[in-house]
Amino acid sequence: MDALKLISQSSMKENAPVVNIGDTVKVHVRIKEGDKYRIQIFEGTVIAKKHGGINETFTVRRLSHGCGVERVFPVHSPIIEKVELVRSGKVRRSKLYYIRGRVGKAAKVKEQIK
């Protein structure tokens, strides 16, 4: 078991992105097209964080042409270039799955004033 811990700790990113539930973030994802790479930005609200350690993931939701799109990103994945914080959200839940059933202004998360 110690060998697994050592391997997982060595493959973790040193500067892993710090995201919180309710934050609006821009995730810069490296996408391979043929033999070239490009950066695609996925902007949305973080509605969930799961697990911990090497398996940690976060789910980002956004509306695209009136249709909800959710994407799950592993925190320590090499395809994630960087995660920009657009604004912090003020929430009282650890999972914001209730936002899936809401539309328009009801689906917004209040901004946290620091």
**107 assigned to some structural domain:** no
| 10 falls within a domain | no
pLDDT tens for 13-51 read 778 888 999 999 999 999 999 999 999 999 999 999 999
Angle at 14 between CA 12 and CA 19, to 5 degrees: 90
CATH number of the domain within which 38 lies: 2.30.30.790
**Which pair of tokens denotes residue 69?**
């799109």
Structural domain tally of the chain?
1
Contact 70, 97 (CB under 8 A): no
Q: Is the pTM of this model over 0.85?
A: yes
pLDDT 10s digits, 55-106: 899 999 999 998 999 999 999 999 999 999 999 999 999 999 999 999 888 9
Q: Which residue has the tokens 């799955």?
A: 97
What domain range is 53 assigned to? 15-97
The CA distance from 95 to 23, in Å, is: 12
